[in-house]
Amino acid sequence: MFLYVVTYDTPCDKCRKKIADLLEGYGKRVQYSVFECVLDKDKFEELKLRLRKRVKPDEDSVRFYPLTSHALDQVEIWGGPPLTAPPHSIVV
Q: pTM (2 decimals)?
A: 0.87
Helices (H), the chain: 13-24, 41-52, 69-72
Would you give the DSSP letter of residue 71? H
Tens place of pLDDT per residue across the chain (92 aa): 889 999 999 999 999 999 999 999 999 999 999 999 999 999 999 999 999 999 999 999 999 999 987 888 888 999 988 988 776 654 44
Q: In this structure, how many other beta carbons lie within 10 angstroms of the beta carbon of residue 2?
A: 21
Provide the pairing of β-strand 34-39 with 28-31: antiparallel
Q: In this structure, how many other beta carbons lie within 10 angstroms of the beta carbon of residue 73?
A: 8
